[in-house]
Amino acid sequence: MNYPLPGSTTYDTPITGVGTSFSLAKKATFSLPINVARNFQAKLGGLWIWVSAIAGGATTLTFRIALDAAGDELLVTDTEGALFPGTTTTTDGSIVYSLNNLPVGLSVDELYLIVKTDAGTVTIDKTQLSWGF
């Protein structure tokens, strides 16, 4: 059988003006290397979100990961992570979140990350999701 290998996927198209509500126009799409005709049990490992242009007092990001582009079928429900500012540039920052090898069944070839802030806005520069099988 042709099973996928553990790995990660990255979305690195900047998403500007991410604010205090979930917006489908501002989601990141993760492409997964699986055959959609099969259902795989995957273990979601880690999520990294790198941001810039932190403004208006943003200190946390809340994210969700969905199976569908409409954001209705959630794999990971609303999860909050502290936004850590950069060492030399405080308007840059990141969150790193462990998904604790969350077991999920996957029969899709894309997952969707939707993010909001607690205040103000950020630009998501890049995000990465890792998994194992």
Convert the pLDDT of each residue in 21-38 to its tens digit: 999 999 999 987 765 556
- Whole-number percent of the chain with pLDDT over 70: 90
If one counts the domains in the chain, the total is: 1
Which has the higher per-residue pLDDT, 54 or 8? 54
For residue 13, give its domain range.
7-132
Contacts of 49 (CB under 8 A, 6+ apart): 61, 63, 81, 94, 95, 97, 113, 115, 124, 126, 127
Quick check: is 62 in a domain? yes
Q: How far apart are CA 36 and CA 130, in angstroms?
A: 18
Q: Give which of 59, 81, 68 is closest to 27, Cα–Cα.
A: 68
What does pTM read for this prediction? 0.90
Quick check: is 2 in a domain? no
pLDDT for position 51: 98
Quick check: is 16 in a domain? yes
**Summary mean pLDDT of the chain:** 90
Quick check: is 54 in a domain? yes
Q: What CATH number does residue 121 fall under? A: 2.60.120
Q: Inform me whether the pLDDT recorded for 1 exceeds 70.
A: no
Quick check: is 1 in a domain? no
Cβ-contact 4, 40 below 8 angstroms: yes
Q: What is the pLDDT of residues 45-84, one digit of tens each?
A: 899 999 999 999 999 999 999 999 999 999 899 999 999 9
